[in-house]
Structure 1
Amino acid sequence: MPVVPEPPGGFAEAYRAQQARYPQLSAAPGWQPVHTVYVPADRFSARTVDEWRDHALSLVKAHLGGPGELVEVFGVPRGPAAAVHEKVLAKLTHEPIEDLRVDFEDGYGVRPDEVEDGHVEQAAEAVAALHAAGALPRRWGPRVKSFADGDPGRSVRTLGGFVTGVVERVGELPAGFTVTFPKVLMEDYLPQFAGVLERLEAGLDVRLRFEMQVEAPQTLPFLRAELAESLGGRLAAAHFGVFDYTAALGLPPHEQRLDHPACDHARHVMQTAFAGTGVELSDGSLAASPASDRAVDVHALWLRHAELVRHSLRHGFYQGWDMHPSHLVSRFATVYAFHLAHYDSYRERVSAWEEQREAGGGVMDEPATIRTLAAALRRADAALP
């Protein structure tokens, strides 16, 4: 008779810990915005979404005649170009912004308390108006000042005023709310900020989650899976901040770019830390707009932005930050081309696996690859209009 040992002691406890820490190991990816648009709080209004849509569409009308120019300007493969062109126009028309952040930090600056308080009220009023019009993006919220600036009171005051102002005007906190917490130089700031959210929840009967920004090399050492678990499920995402990060490393200004190897390292640390936890990842931005309204300058901006978006996508970062209406065109065109380029071949390989037949072309898929292919298809279905 074979000797069958008992299961190892403590296994059940370890397995429960695994399930709590890595809830997304075998889960299908859900919808995640392909971008975050952030607008300085003093420039944000109920017209912001319409203004970004109209500006982006005017650029398309003036400088993107048809699918052929997608190939030339963005490097979109000729095969899916017509479908990409159609989808970009539809997206810009019906949902130009998926995720909107009202910025009270670097894009806004330091103002007297009474001035920032006034902009908090204006922002809450604009959110209420967008919600009433059915135009509030699926994700939305503020970016508050960092605790690293030495004034957590201002950060908390803005957050409390913003959330309270929206709830008072709408009667509830509309779906999709999240708050961005920048420049997390100290690990202690995270549970402190989570505690602020917890106290706000108790007072307003809402559920609040936040995104942390990874903007300094000092942040990387304390990124780990247990971090998300320790914050009670309140950490929704980690967003990379390219300019603060590269400046902190001492890179020269012309090398402060998303596709620098130092940024690749930071992104890989973020991926390693949060894989399987359900914490979403977002890349940073291109701090540039077209130098003029001339086609040559608009095309140059689109080309550079498309290169950076493709770089992010190749590295498994499916979301990034957009800073100008022109970026919407290159963002959506590049994302849609990326998903459509391999969609049919991925679907065929998954079907072949499910039907237990050869996929053809010498492909020998492993179970992990099939899971990745299926996840890519679901991600594409969620992203494509």
Structure 2
Amino acid sequence: MSVPSTVPGVLPALTALADSALADIDPLVPGRWATPVTWRQPVHTVYVPAHLVVGDGAPGADLPRRWGSDALAALDAYGHPADLARELGVAEAHADTVGELTRAKLLREPVEDLRIDFEDGFTQRGVAPDARDADEDTRARQAAEVLADWFGAPGGAPGDAASPAPAFAGIRFRSFDPAVRDRGLRTLAIVLEGLAERDVLRTVLEQDRRALRLTLPKVQHHRQVEAFVEVLRALESTLGVPELPFEVQVETPQAILAEDGAAEPARLISAGEGRVLSLHYGTYDYSASLGVDAAAQSLEHPVADHAKDVLQVATTAVGVELSDGSTNRIPVGTREEVLEGWRIHHHLVRRHLRRGIRQGWDLHAHQLVTRHLTTIAYFRSDWRVTADRLRAYVAGDTSRWMDEPATAKAMAGYLRRAHGCGAVTDHELATTGLDHAQLRSLQVKGRV
């Protein structure tokens, strides 16, 4: 004799119990924990010391064009772009196309993101100690002029073919270390005031809040981020502008592992109250602080991989970008020395792309060659099979691939990045049968 099940009768109570217990967690599931990077993320950040951007004899707003010209000259001195692609291991089937697309990228947009550096890279050799504050003040005002030109102030020409402007730009100021905090905030305030006076700051923040990049370096504790948020609120009130977002540079062990054993990057992001655009890994400060000798410091050292593993987990699906650091092995010198520098850079860029980190730092114009060549080659290599798989997934065709929503999200993100960096053309992207809105929906939800 069967006994009637009592489970259906208690289900409403069970559901109510779970709903009550998870009331504060449920909004995170479709919200904060389901926010992949679906907007354009730069493939790199170029760091240029302030004294090499502004001041007597410095290129100012023309710097991206000069870097692009220098990169093209180095590439032309080597030979045909496709030959360099083959030398670096790009498959024969892709070498010609990768070479052509790389050259086009260096002509069109050599620098995607540029940071005028008032921190470690900024030196004031030859400036008397008692004149250094005035010198930095002057350069900060000049930096505001340059940024205004790039962001399209009246009279500026952003994106002009003769002088291409970066899509993203900003400054790195000094850290919240008590010894230099005042100087860093002074430079930040001068730059922001200069942008506001030119009617640029509000416009940029309203049009694309990710375009202006303010980099807070050497963070050691999430309370420094909390303090910076308060500083920004005060500046916003004074200048009458919308919310200012920023980046956090992670280059100390305390920013990875807190004193209580917790993962500090998650706290840094929370402390930013939605303002943190990106976490940037700082290669050399971090490695040195852990006792790694100079000869062994590298983006692929085990201590670097550990730090980036923690950063990658903290930033995944919460709407925060992640950037790898830099290599200080510059491609200059003889032909063989340049080629060796390119080999090292190519290897490191490809390595972080393969591990899912889509951005890194560049420190020299010649690194633009391998930044763009390697990025284009990476996204070029599998775009066609990815497009085929995604098209089959949307159609429900499981005859060759049995992909799941999580894989579909990854494939849609891959194709969107491939298109964004110039590796895939509009026509090629259209072979998926999906428009940009549908691809974004797939990236976020795993379905159209």
Larger CA deviation: 138-147 vs 8-17: 8-17
The C-alpha deviation readout for 1:140-175, integer Å capped at 9, x for no partner, is 110000112622111111000011112213444535
* TM-score when normalising by structure 2: 0.80
Pairing of 1:197-236 with structure 2 (within 5 A): 197-204=232-239, 205-221=241-257, 222-225=263-266, 227-236=268-277
Q: TM-score, normalised by structure 1?
A: 0.93
* CA separation of 1:287 and 1:28: change in aligned 2, threshold 3 A: closer
Is 1:365 aligned with 2:396?
Answer: no
| Structure 2 residue 92 is the aligned partner of structure 1 residue 51 | no
- Which one has more relative contact order, counting CA pairs under 8 Å at least 6 apart? 1
- Say if 1:64 and 1:163 are closer, same or farther in 2 by CA, change over 3 A: farther
Equivalent of 1:113, from 118, 129, 133? 133
Letter in 2 for 1:365: D
Q: Distance in 2 between matches of 1:11 and 1:295?
A: 62
Deviations 1:323-342 (A, max 9, x none): 00001000000000100101
Cα deviation for residue 11 of structure 1 reads 3.1
Query: Counterpart in 1 of 2:221?
Result: 186
User: Does residue 252 of structure 1 match 2:293?
Assistant: yes
- Which amino acid in structure 2 is aligned with residue 121 of structure 1? R
Amino acid aligned to 2:25 = A
State the partner residue of 1:100. 114
SS at match of 1:80: helix
Does residue 1:128 correspond to 2:142, yes or no?
no
**Deviation of 1:212 (Å):** 0.5
Query: CA 1:152 to 1:245, structure 2 compared with 1: closer, same or farther past 3 Å?
Result: same
Q: Is the 8 A contact 1:20 1:229 kept in 2?
A: no
Is structure 2 residue 290 aligned with structure 1 residue 261?
Answer: no
State the 1:314 CA deviation: 1.2
Q: CA deviation at 1:298?
A: 1.4
- The structure having more radius of gyration, on CA atoms, is 2
Out of 3, 16, 22, the position equivalent to 2:33 is: 22
Worse-matched range after superposition: 311-320 or 371-380 = 371-380
Q: Give the Å deviation of 1:22.
A: 2.1
Q: What letter corresponds to residue 117 of structure 2 in structure 1? A: D
Secondary structure at the aligned position of 1:36 is classed as strand
In structure 2, give the amino acid aligned to 1:34.
Answer: V
SS at match of 2:256: helix
- What is the percentage of aligned positions where both structures have the same residue? 37
Give the paired residue count: 379
Distance 2:338 2:307 in 1: 30
* Structure 1 residues without counterparts, runs of 5 or longer: none
User: Counterpart in 1 of 2:440?
Assistant: none
* Aligned position for 1:5: 12
Deviations 1:259-282 (A, max 9, x none): 112111111100111221111000
**Equivalent AA in structure 2 for residue 143 of structure 1:** R
Maintained 8 Å contact 2:71/2:366: yes
RMSD: 1.9
- Aligned match of 2:366 in 303, 312, 326? 326
TM-superposed deviation, 1:76: 1.4
Once structures 1 and 2 are overlaid, which stretch shifts more, 34-43 or 79-88?
Answer: 79-88
Q: Distance in 2 between matches of 1:218 and 1:28?
A: 26
Task: Kindly indicate whether residue 394 of structure 2 is the aligned counterpart of residue 374 of structure 1.
Answer: no
Provide the rounded CA distance (Å) in 2 between the counterparts of 1:109 and 1:330: 27
Q: Is the 8 A contact 2:81 2:100 kept in 1?
A: no
Name 2:42's counterpart in structure 1: 33
Structure-2 separation of matches of 1:337 and 1:166: 37
Once residues 137 and 364 of structure 1 are traced to their aligned partners in structure 2, the CA distance between those partners, rounded to angstroms, is 41
Q: Secondary structure at the match of 1:22?
A: helix
Distance change (3 Å), C-alpha of 1:357 and 1:236: same
> Aligned equivalents of 1:290 and 1:374: distance in 2?
34
Return the match for 1:345 from 372, 378, 385.
Answer: 385
SS in 2 for 1:29: coil
